[in-house]
Amino acid sequence: MHNIVLFDTSIGTMNLGDEIIMESLQKNMKDLLDGNFIVKFPTHTPCFHFYQQTRRNPRYRFVRDAKYKFICGTNIINNRMDIPWSTWNINFANANCYNNSVLVGVGAAGLKDGVDQLSWYPKKLFSSFLSRSYKHSVRDERTKRIVESMLGEGSAINTGCPTVWGLTRQHCREIKENKADQVVFTLTDYSKKPDTDQELIDTLLRNYKKVFYWPQGTQDISYFSKMNHTDEITIISPSIRSYSELLSQGNIDYVGTRLHAGIYAMQHKIRTIIIIVDNRAADMAAIYNINTIVRGDKNLESMIRTPFPTNVLIDEERIETWKSQFR
């Protein structure tokens, strides 16, 4: 039995997509985690203040001496580490607990298009504690290049996000190609385009008998409340359990701007169209053949009405290569 630390991106999160990532990660790493003692520590808030990083602190000792330390998903490699509310709340004074940590399905953000290297401060910070003994699991090719620019060529494997690891060919074949009678959709609180998102709502109302809305982020419901023609839309409770229960009933599609809500729908064998609003969906769609469409594309209605297959192209060999390091 080993001690293992999961640096959990869902603790203190304002985005339920982080809970989807953590649930998927633990399910798809069950073979590595079972039989070991697992302790979770946050990333959105500091694990320890600098004065708590002492051998007298049993929690710090556990983290320091753990056999493996995994940093779990999301856009945690961020170029904006100079702000006190950064996605990953660390600095040189409190980062010791991360020494020799391994990335799992991590993505990158805060960089301009076409830029594949971090600025000097985050690059120096991350390279000071990320493991050089193990290969890191990253979500896409861009993040792979960024990690390798810090740690050297061959230091990262593009496994995709753990949320897609279970979307095998057999699983995808069981997702229906034809439109369902109902649909659940999402909006994105940090990427608002009211006119375009209103068109999305109106399109769904025209094409489905029943429309549901699931707020994945803390401000999604506030944004939704400013939209028109919403009286006939049913709002789902903002929890993973409620969303899972809706998806499990079947006869429903997913169409929305939230990437992980869409991937979670595919995990439940639901026909899915993810609307691209940022780099995450674009980066993953380019490699893994996820059914996506750019926000505002006039072909959305045609895509909804036309049968299409789901054929996510995960690389099971890469995933197994990364996992084999820890067996």
The alpha carbon of 36 is separated from its chain's Cα centroid by a whole number of angstroms, namely 25
Here the tokens at position 164 are 């897609």
Cα–Cα distance for residue pair 104/326, rounded to 1 Å: 13
Alpha helices in 29-79, H assignment, sequence order: 30-33, 58-65
Tell which residue, 213, 193, 211, has the closest CA to residue 203.
211
How many CA within 13 A on the CB side of residue 308?
18
Distance from C-alpha of 21 to C-alpha of 9, rounded to nearest angstrom:
8
pLDDT, residue 47, reads 93
Alpha-carbon radius of gyration of the chain: 20
Pairing of strands 292-294, 272-276: parallel
Dihedral over Cα of 82, 91, 111, 14: its sign: negative
Q: 169-305 in CATH: which number?
A: 3.40.50.2000
- Residue 253 corresponds to which amino acid? D
The pLDDT of residue 273 is 98
**Given this model, what pLDDT does residue 132 score?**
97
Per-residue exposure over 196-220, b if at least 16 CB sit within 10 Å of its own CB, e if not: ebebbbebbeebbeebbbbbbbeeb
Domain locations in the chain?
3-165+316-326, 169-305
pLDDT by 10-residue block (mean), the chain, 327 residues: 96 94 96 96 91 92 96 89 84 92 92 82 95 95 93 95 95 98 96 97 98 97 97 97 97 96 98 91 84 96 98 95 95
Nearest to 151 by CA among 177, 169, 125: 125
Question: What is the DSSP code string of 215-228?
Answer: --BTTHHHHHTTSS
Phi, psi of 69 (to 5 degrees): -130, 120
